[in-house]
Homo-oligomer: A and B are copies of this chain.
Amino acid sequence: MHPTTQATLAALKTVSTATLTSLLFKRGFRNVFIQGARPLKPGQRLAGPAYTLRYIPSREDLDGIEAFRDPRHPQRVAVEEIPPGAVLVMDCRGDASAASAGSILAARMQVRGAAGIVTDGGLRDAAGIAALEMPAWCAGPSAPTNLIRHHALDINAPIGCGGVAVYPGDIMVGDDDGVVCIPLHLADEVARDAVEMERFEAFVLEEVQRGVPVIGLYPPTAPETKPRYEAWLARRAALP
């Protein structure tokens, strides 16, 4: 596996998904934002490698309530085997008419050190999950057990989630806008560029608040913008 450092993950928790989608777009990636996954509560950040769970449609003879008694049930195995720091990413085919997980499993994942949950299906007892420290993104609260619609099948296979390809180990980053999936081999360089881009945007925002027009400033096409930015950087560096 690619040695994505803790430094990269730490950096990614400080930058926005808006910034990341722009940097990935510059590299030719147009489809990296998990469509339809909303945070269960505002103000949370997520960064960690994807650990995937694939659901297919359920079938009445295979997915009765007793299915959970099987100690090898993939949903339960996933919760017990997801590595600390990883993000459980679930492929529910965008169907939120049933849950993909609930608050007890989420609590167990938090105890085990998982970084968060991302699903294009529903989450049940969503208020209970929102009360945890571990953040979660989903297509909406949905009370019915996954068995009415979803059959947990594969752990750590490549999946689709919210219309995006997610390969195990890809870096999932989440904020209030939603979740972006960064192909693993790009995580380090994108993280580095994102920190730099947000530094520049902090400058831009100050300029805007001072009344500077955005044309010429953002992107910095006016000749005066870059020197002004360098001066701003120097002032900031000189702060005690």
Chain A: residues with CB nearer than 8 A to chain B? 16-18, 20-22, 25-26, 28-33, 35, 38, 42-43, 56-62, 65, 68-69, 71, 76-77, 79-80, 93-94, 97, 99, 102-105, 107-108, 111, 124-127, 140-145, 147-148, 151, 153-154, 157-160, 163-165, 175-178, 180, 183, 201, 204-205, 208-209, 211, 213-216, 218-219, 221
Partner of A143, one of B18, B147, B160: B18
What residue in chain B is nearest A66 (Cβ atoms)? B219
Partner of A56, one of B77, B158, B183: B158
Chain B nearest Cβ from A132, distance in angstroms = 11
A172 to B93, CA, bound (A): 22
A216 to B77, CA, bound (A): 11
Chain B nearest Cβ from A177, distance in angstroms = 4
A204 to B125, CA, bound (A): 15
Chain B nearest Cβ from A156, distance in angstroms = 13
Partner of A126, one of B76, B111, B176: B176
Contacts of A159 in B (CB 8 A): 56
> Known: A33-B144, A159-B56. Contact between A104 and B205, CB under 8 A?
yes
14 pairs across A/B with beta carbons < 8 Å? A18-B125, A21-B145, A28-B60, A31-B58, A56-B160, A57-B164, A59-B183, A62-B165, A80-B213, A111-B209, A127-B177, A141-B176, A141-B178, A142-B178
